[in-house]
Amino acid sequence: MKPFTLERYFAQYEFSTRYLLSSSDCDGLPMQSLLEMADEECRKLWDELRIGYTESLGHPLLRQEIASLYKGIAPEDVLVIVPEEGIYIAMQSILKRGDHAICTFPGYQSLYQVAEDAGCEVTRWMPEEEHSWRFNPEFLENNIRDNTRLIVFNFPHNPTGSLPTQEDYARILQIAREHNLYVFSDEMYRLLELDAVERLPSACEEYEKAVSLFGMSKTFGMAGARIGWLATRDRELYGKLAAYKDYTTICSSTPSEILSLIGLRNGDAIVAKHLARVRRNLALLDEFFTAHADLFEWVRPHAGTIAFPRYKGKEGAYALCQRLVREAEIMLLPSTVYDYDDQHVRVGFGRENLQEGLEKFDKFLQTNQSR
């Protein structure tokens, strides 16, 4: 398989660079404060836990808690997986060599790479930057072929923070239905909409051939638990997904399932805290990009923890990011890791120490001419 460029870039700098201005997750929850939130049942499960194998489909209480996040989804429709694993097994289960898929782009690489490496053709569905990174449903309509089998999208979108309107989203699902296509909906940044009114229904609630991916990593600040889930009402597809898991992880991590159960049962409080931080950080970014409007063009995101401002410096985004790492201990992701262009950077605003990093970035820009 082709290397995962973004993950390779993170591997190079994430644990050796001081200011991470590109992370997509909310700060990792401290174990102690999570355990303090546990209700009596969870506390008992945790205290008496045996680190043996668990049920392959996921702990029944966890699946029940997950199902309650959706309308019309039963615990039986939920398969607990690692988020990245969910993408892999869904692509392998839905697609075969020669199929065609349409996928939002730029994006998290596995959303299109697994299909490409399996011998499928993938059409890249690009957003319109000039319209707040809108993914125009018309593009979908115009690019469906006889062998199209799957539409892949990721809303709220990594890396632009784009979120379709309710009308566009309904149209997208309607197109999938009209053509009897499968839908893979990556909803890893769900519940982090700045205005709850803009929250979209989950694809698995709206369309019976859709599979939705969500998990603990971003919204709940529990990336290290490595717990996510697929939800679908398509029983045949569910069976294939579950069977595939026997060849990847078999079952999930026993402690992580209980920690995730605690996280979800306290989800409202955790998400409220994360959203407050996101709002505070976005205000800082508004200020920062206003002060540096000569260098950056800022499209304020509607949801999630990341955005994709345009860098206007002649040197390009990759050169800027390399200088930032070397000279200011700042990690920013250049759009080249998305195989996109060399004129955007990804900023992340789910972390507590963003202000510190931005101050450092500001000093860097004041003392270093853009090139």
Ligand X SMILES: Cc1ncc(COP(=O)(O)O)c(C=O)c1O
Q: Helices then strands (H, E): number in the chain?
A: 14, 14
User: Using CA atoms, how far apart are residues 140 and 181, in angstroms rounded to an integer?
Assistant: 12
Residue whose CB is less far from ligand X, 213 or 358: 213
Does 217 interact with ligand X (rule: CB under 6 A)? yes
Tell me which residue has tokens 């065609």.
100
Supply the minimum distance, in Å, between the C-beta of residue 95 and ligand X: 17
Supply the minimum distance, in Å, between the C-beta of residue 357 and ligand X: 19
Residue range at the interface with ligand X (CB under 6 A); choices 174-182, 215-223, 282-290, 322-330? 215-223
Other residues' Cβ atoms within 10 Å of the Cβ of residue 242 = 17
Does 82 interact with ligand X (rule: CB under 6 A)? yes
Other residues' Cβ atoms within 10 Å of the Cβ of residue 70 = 18
Supply the minimum distance, in Å, between the C-beta of residue 74 and ligand X: 24
Q: Which candidate, 75, 96, 84, places its Cα nearest to that of 240?
A: 96
Tell me which residue has tokens 């999208």.
153
Paired sense of beta strands 345-348 and 333-334, if any: antiparallel
Burial degree of 254 (CB within 10 A; 0-12, 13-18, 19+): middle
Q: What is the DSSP letter of 296?
A: E
Supply the minimum distance, in Å, between the C-beta of residue 44 and ligand X: 28
Residue whose CB is less far from ligand X, 183 or 365: 183
Residues 266-305 as x/- pattern, contact with ligand X by CB under 6 A: ----------------------------------------
Q: What is the DSSP letter of 363?
A: H
Supply the minimum distance, in Å, between the C-beta of residue 231 and ligand X: 15
Q: Which of residues 13-32 bind ligand X (CB under 6 A)?
A: 24
Contact between residue 194 and residue 161 where contact means Cβ atoms under 8 Å apart: no
CA angle 342, 346, 349 (to 5 degrees): 165
Supply the minimum distance, in Å, between the C-beta of residue 17 and ligand X: 17
Residue range at the interface with ligand X (CB under 6 A); choices 54-62, 82-90, 119-127, 131-139? 82-90
Residue in 13, 23, 29, 84 binding ligand X, rule: CB under 6 A: 84
Supply the minimum distance, in Å, between the C-beta of residue 34 and ligand X: 17
Other residues' Cβ atoms within 10 Å of the Cβ of residue 162 = 26
Does 186 interact with ligand X (rule: CB under 6 A)? yes
Is the peptide bond prior to 255 cis by the omega test (within 30 degrees of 0)?
no
Supply the minimum distance, in Å, between the C-beta of residue 228 and ligand X: 6
Residue whose CB is less far from ligand X, 108 or 125: 108
φ and ψ at residue 7, rounded to 5 degrees: -65, -35
Does 223 interact with ligand X (rule: CB under 6 A)? yes
Residues 109-148 as x/- pattern, contact with ligand X by CB under 6 A: ----------------------------------------
Q: What is the DSSP letter of 368?
A: S
| Sites of contact with ligand X (CB under 6 A) | 24, 82-84, 108, 154, 158, 186, 188, 215, 217, 223
